[in-house]
Amino acid sequence: MTQQPAVDTLRTEAAVRFLDTDFSECFAERRRFDSLIWEVTKFTFTAYSAMLAAAVGLYTFSLQQQVDLVPAAIALLSVGVVVGLFMLLLLVRTRVYFVIVTRYINEQRRHFLSDHPVGFENQSMMLTDVDRPAFFSTRSTHAWAALLVIALNAALSSALGFIGAPAGGRRGILAGVIFVVVGVAQAVVAVAYLRSRDGISPSEAVFGRRR
């Protein structure tokens, strides 16, 4: 019986060390997820700019030199759209991971600050809300990054429709309609998915089922 207090102390110290390490590692993961979102955004912008310029160049060369390079331009834009949709999926999923890790960090911070250690009052109100950040927020820079990728996907789809459509006066209208439809569809699906992650467990949010 005399050993029990010592065992409890060792367990407490081990738990504190674990949470300390876990907090640091989660913060590193949070930074990694944030960096990944911006790296994906920069890559998408750069790649799309190159693809769109190349496709327009091929199309213009075809008109000027009477060489049919339109199929090559269509193939290039088609690949770009597929890649772009994957990039959007990657952004949305990374946002889910980012939010889950951030809420966990907030929970740990709230736990250790609840007893006002060494008189610390947290008057700056450093985040301790386990329900924040929301998976989707119009004020989030991640949402604006996703919006940029959505706009780029819509632009490539619009260019694809314009180049692939038969020559005529309505190609511009078709391109405009495609831009709006593709852009809105992506935004609706992405927002709906992110909002559906709120109010469920992290396991359900990531894996889509109870564990």
Q: How far is CA 200 from the centre of its chain?
A: 19
Contact 54, 158 (CB under 8 A): no
- C-alpha span between 104 and 4 (Å, rounded): 31
Q: Quote the pTM value.
A: 0.86
SS3 169: coil
Q: Collect all residues with Cβ–Cβ distance below 8 Å to 180 and sequence separation of at least 6.
A: 154
Distance of CA 135 to the CA centre of its chain: 10
Report the pLDDT value the prediction gives residue 72, as an integer from 0 to 100.
86
Distance CA 205, CA 207 (A): 6
Instruction: Tell me the pLDDT tens digit for each residue of 136-170.
Output: 999 999 999 999 999 999 999 998 988 887 776 68
User: What pLDDT is stored for residue 2 in this prediction?
Assistant: 55
Tell me, rounded to whole angstroms, the distance of Cα 123 from its chain centroid.
32
Q: What are the average pLDDT values for consecutive 10-residue runs of the chain, which has 211 residues?
A: 66 82 90 94 90 85 77 88 94 95 90 77 78 91 95 92 78 90 97 92 80 50
